[in-house]
Amino acid sequence: MLLRLLLLLAPCGAGFATAVVSISLRGNWKIHNGNGSLQLPAAVPGCVHSALFNKRIIKDPYYRFNNLDYRWIALDNWTYIKKFKLHSDMSEWNKVNLVFEGIDTVAVVLLNSVPIGKTDNMFRRYMQCSFGWDWGPSFPTQGIWKDVRIEAYNICHLNYFMFTPIYDNYMETWNLKIESSFDVVSSKLVSGEAIVAIPELNIQQRNNIELRHGERTVKLFVKIDKAVIVETWWPHGHGNQTGYNMTVTFELDGGLRFEKSAKVYFRTVELVEEPIRNSPGLSFYFKINGLPIFLKGSNWIPADSFQDRVTSDMLRLLLQSVVDANMNALRVWGGGIYEQDEFYELCDELGIMIWQDFMFACALYPTDQDFMDSVREEVTHQVRRLKSHPSIITWSGNNENEAALMMGWYDTKPGYLHTYIKDYVTLYVKNIRTIVLEGDQTRPFIVSSPTNGVKTTAEGWLSPNPYDLNYGDIHFYDYMSDCWDWRTFPKARFVSEYGYQSWPSFSTLEKVSSEEDWSYESSFALHRQHLINGNSEMLQQIELHFKLPNSADQLRRFKDTLYLTQVMQAQCVKTETEFYRRSRNEIVDGKGHTMGALYWQLNDIWQAPSWSSLEYGGKWKMLHYFARRFFAPLLPVGFEDKDVLFIYGVSDLPSDHQMMLTVRVHTWSSLELVCSELTNPFVMKAGESVVLYSKPVPELLKGCPGCTRQSCVVSFYLSTDGELLSPINYHFLSSLKNAKGLHKANITATISQQGNTFVFDLKTSAVAPFVWLDVGSIPGRFSDNGFLMTEKTRTVFFYPWKPTSESELEQSFHVTSLADTY
């Protein structure tokens, strides 16, 4: 596939009066394919697929099997054409730049039919997952997917502007480094002033500057008065995300003026790798502003195969859902893209910490000079672009490439291993790491993920076992072991990937399928599943603890199966995450001190089975509602060990709190509480995980008349003075397929409106596990969902993302609980 970009320039009119001009070429272009049989208008930014779809030449690329049917688009060559006029002769300018922020695929750029540029790196720097992944389709796009413009100037041009807040530990003051690069084309000396203004910090600083011909860098240093109180930026749940408005103005000879405005945030970050008492190895956790922070969150993948469809509203919706689920961190995965500026600005605003991979994933890469030069330019640009964002707390060189090489993923011949290791060190250490450390000394750099951290460094940048639980971070997946058994999971320092698959809801699938597809055994269901044996492994995991659907109605059975995959996924990830959270302070058999849990994955790129907790379009799966609970700042966690029920208290709160633990036992057959006990008041310390309760299960049940493991369930919560401080958590005493007395519940809802929020007053006739409220395709989320309903009534709120009404919600509303699938 080859992309040709043809620009036709027709100069006319009088010259410009200004010394710098920027002309956007976004908007309407024309495109045609290789043989000219297709000619049509196209929007820039955009891609060929979007242009064809907008002209109804193709249908929705995500519909049914269209990712196969539309392969011809990527295999063809396409030409983008734009005819434009400049009100000036180009020769009037000392320098004219044609700037493309983003071009997909191999491209030749022509101006008035004369080639002026080419991108043909044999190992293309491209969104790697465009060629398919185990959660996404193959849609290698072609087009101009970012801004394109002409820049012309006679004196100088501001190439880039960046800044870095730095804390002086010795002086206990904040300083600000500002760096600006100019391309000076004037042969004369250019003089002027640089003015830095941060009104809220009482800063108005003026510096004289002189710019000589060539590429020139202006470095400014701003000292912030120690008497001025600087509020720091904190992750979500740990404090405010205070930022300060800064304006930097360059007033130069000839009336030339450049002005840059930005939000400045102040925070420090440290990756702590130090010995742990009673444990071999080293810790691996992050301190923000000197405070150890447990990273709670997920992994981010591209929000769409077609990046021109990723809108500001979509980004805000997805990232708001992150903090609404009590997360504080995302890992931007290395097989996608460096996200757009707005993504990082929103993360700054919302307090979402970012683990930023460089875009290298699950592959061996070349180290020829052309490729290395390309990577050097890429990394330099991204560090300059992103380093001012407080949300980014670490750089990571690649995704899983150390593990792939050292664990033999690619069946590489032993005789070539030395060469591959040498190439790995050349690319990620001598090239990428060197550039990052030169450009940014304010945050750590990790060569790979997973990694053994400083142990990997000591072992020559590649460890024989990158999954050592005593060092660094790990990725962990196990679909065949029982996910209800916490012993399945590794007691690691930091878990940056883990998870289980589920299918999206029927309302999401319905948009891209037809009636013949609505079966778990259909060709469509197999086609959408990109993980080998993924569909069957979900059923096997479900069958460990639940009954598989057996309705004679095919559609009912399909919907029940979709529901149960979400139940399974939510319960599995809940059990695993709670294990990691309760392991933050403890060492058992030398293992533990877990300080991060980032499950795979947050979002979907299309409508298909995946590890996500948010469906394509943003609808919350059951897992995301569970995440809202299992990532709560204060959480009681229950589990069994050798027939003893333990309940831990886990706190991410910034201060100590006095509270009590309530433990209740319910029977499946009745809404009447069987028995309850309340602990004495205790102080839950900030940032700790401790045992609050332990009792042998037989002893617990003995005090609850008529209860057996199969007939009863335990719930528990933390409170003070009758006020609920934590979610109500639960522990199943047996597999639910063996539950005795569990009846189908008749659950009804009365819907009313309060302002922009809708109130669902629920009533149930029986105890109901995994109650799922669904309003179809009406965009929005509930305050809670997928819950265990043990009382006759419950009130849940619905927050719509677009205007809706009581009648619309009533028509779309459907409720499912576990016994409905029997």
Whether residue 342 lies in the annotated active site = no
- Would you state the structure tokens that stand for residue 10, as one six-digit string? 């027709």
The whole-angstrom separation of Cα 613 and Cα 626 is 9
The whole-angstrom separation of Cα 671 and Cα 742 is 11
Start-to-end CA distance of the chain, whole Å, equals: 52
Residue 367: which of 422, 293, 285, 434 has the closest Cα? Answer: 422
Residues forming beta bridges with residue 165, ordered by sequence position: 176
The whole-angstrom separation of Cα 405 and Cα 402 is 5
CA atoms within 13 A on the CB side of 368: 6
Instruction: Kindly report the backbone phi and psi dihedral angles of residue 397, in degrees, each rounded to the nearest multiple of 5, phi listed first.
Output: -70, -30
Identify the active-site residue in 400, 576, 578, 615: 400
- Would you state the structure tokens that stand for residue 80, as one six-digit string? 């983008």
Residue partners of 32: CB distance under 8 A and separation at least 6: 38, 39, 40, 78, 79, 81
- Would you state the structure tokens that stand for residue 677, as one six-digit string? 């006990």
Whether residue 92 lies in the annotated active site = no
- Would you state the structure tokens that stand for residue 744, as one six-digit string? 């189908």
The whole-angstrom separation of Cα 694 and Cα 639 is 10
In one-letter notation, the amino acid at residue 108 is V
The whole-angstrom separation of Cα 584 and Cα 587 is 9
Identify the active-site residue in 273, 339, 402, 497: 497
Q: What angle do CA 436, 599, 272 make, to 5 degrees?
A: 45
The whole-angstrom separation of Cα 130 and Cα 74 is 11
Helices (H), 506-553: 506-509, 523-528, 534-543
H/E stretch holding 4 reads: strand 3-9
Pairing of strands 295-300, 329-332: parallel
Q: Name the 3-class secondary structure at 749.
A: strand
The whole-angstrom separation of Cα 146 and Cα 26 is 9
Category of 544 on φ-ψ map: left (φ > 0), alpha (ψ -120 to 50) or beta = alpha
Q: Name the 3-class secondary structure at 679.
A: coil
For residue 705, the 8-state DSSP code is T
Owner of token pair 């291993």: 417
Owner of token pair 């450390």: 437
For residue 415, the 8-state DSSP code is G
Q: How many CB atoms lie within 10 A of CB 674?
A: 18
Instruction: Kindly report the backbone phi and psi dihedral angles of residue 342, in degrees, each rounded to the nearest multiple of 5, phi listed first.
Output: -65, -30
Residue partners of 7: CB distance under 8 A and separation at least 6: 25, 81, 82, 83, 84, 98, 109, 110, 111, 112
- Would you state the structure tokens that stand for residue 357, as one six-digit string? 């991979």
Q: Where are the beta strands (DSSP E) in 265-391?
A: 269-272, 275-276, 279-282, 285-288, 291-293, 295-300, 329-332, 353-357
The whole-angstrom separation of Cα 571 and Cα 557 is 21
Residue 388: which of 83, 682, 178, 608 has the closest Cα? Answer: 178
Length of the chain counted residue by residue: 822
Q: Which residues are identified as catalytic? A: 400, 497
